[in-house]
Amino acid sequence: MPPRLMSLREAIEALAACLDDSDLYDRYAWVYASDDDSLHDARFYLSSNANEEDDTVTDEEGDDMPAFAVANGLRHYLEAATFADVLMVQKQQQPLSTLDDFATALAHYHDQDAFLDRGGFYSGECASNAPLPGISRELFAEYDLQLAVCPAERVGDAARATAALLEVNVAEALALCRQLPLSLGSRIGGRERDSIEARFAGLSLPLKRTTHRSLAWLPPDDGG
């Protein structure tokens, strides 16, 4: 995908769309930004590790930067992992954070080199907050998976797959598969979601998926 300039909202959504921290590290290295007074007016560029290693030029200040960033007059803002950490800390304190909330948290970290404490973060109090329905606990989306329907002729296959997944014996799994709906994962990450769905798709047993979205402004999931 060719590099492009993003709004603050687009940059946040791109990072939140990763499966997990590891996926984010694989995709993005640095966040570059234009030198605007407000983050809402700024334009952002998310560089990859390849951009940082193979596509660099030296800017006017003698720093090596991706050619796209230099051509568009951008500056280093934060490492992508740090940018994501700021978003996560903000979200842990205020799960329904708005774009303004994230912008304030990012500007504070950029200026102060410290996370913005909305009350209870450094004391650890916010860690005990109950998750909100439909909203993930971390920066990345979470998923619930259910086996909602299973034809009688596929119960045996479903039971064997369930036994392996839940680490129970086949007899117990068989009983579970006869008492649907059956939860096969609660608030799991994207990688585990893909693995479980693939296991049951191979048996022609589609699962019902409920998404706990990463950002409050994203549309609710309609289920799968």
What local confidence, expressed as pLDDT, does residue 222 receive? 59
Mean pLDDT value of segment 167-175: 96
Q: What is the average pLDDT value for the chain, to the nearest integer?
A: 93
What local confidence, expressed as pLDDT, does residue 223 receive? 55
Helices 99-112, 80-93: crossing angle, 10 deg rounding: 120
Q: Which residue has the higher pLDDT, 58 or 143?
A: 143
CB of 30 closer than 8 Å to CB of 64: no
pLDDT tens for 83-141 read: 999 999 999 999 999 999 999 999 999 999 999 998 877 777 776 678 899 999 999 99
Domain ranges of the chain: 8-112, 142-212
pTM of the model: 0.90
CB of 213 closer than 8 Å to CB of 195: no
DSSP lists the bridge partners of residue 144 as 210
Neighbouring C-alpha atoms within 13 Å toward the C-beta of 113: 0
Query: Distance (Å, rounded) from C-alpha 168 to C-alpha 158?
Result: 13
Report whether pLDDT(224) > 60: no
In this structure, CATH architecture of domain 142-212? 2-Layer Sandwich (3.30)
